Amino acid sequence: MSARTQLRTTLAQINVHRPQYDEILSVFDRLYPAEAGLDGEETRAKLAKILEKVKVEVERAESLYPPMSSVHEGHSILKEEQEELWDEIKKSPKKRDFTKIEEEAVQVAAMAVRFLLDLVPM
């Protein structure tokens, strides 16, 4: 029996109600993605969604801003985006907005891709 199945069984036995049950499993899945069965098809589907969001953000940034002109400028842009993500992460758990965290993480990833596209010969 997997750890996730054991957790679900225990939660059912102690009569945990739906919102708390879902939240506990969600936290478990984020901490132990392989246990949640996210190491196969689900992970590939999730990765495809994430990469599509990053692609859209790269295209949006390219339409709004010129290419990065130096690795120093690229570093500054990446640092700024990372700091915005950190600002969201360090909020107290009750004030965290995972939609905003996702948005900021996608922007960090998009700027890393843009750094590679604009500045690193491949």
pLDDT at 36: 61
Mean pLDDT of the chain: 87
Kindly report, residue by residue over 68-100, the tens digit of the pLDDT. Answer: 999 999 999 999 999 999 999 999 888 889 999
> Does the pLDDT value for residue 7 go beyond 70?
yes
**Cα(99)–Cα(77) distance, rounded to whole angstroms?**
21
Q: Where are the domains of the chain?
A: 1-39, 43-122
64 by Cβ neighbours in 10 Å (0-12 / 13-18 / 19+) ranks as exposed
Q: Provide the token pair at 22.
A: 């879902």
> Does the pLDDT value for residue 38 go beyond 60?
no
Mean pLDDT of 28-39: 69
Mean pLDDT of 62-66: 97
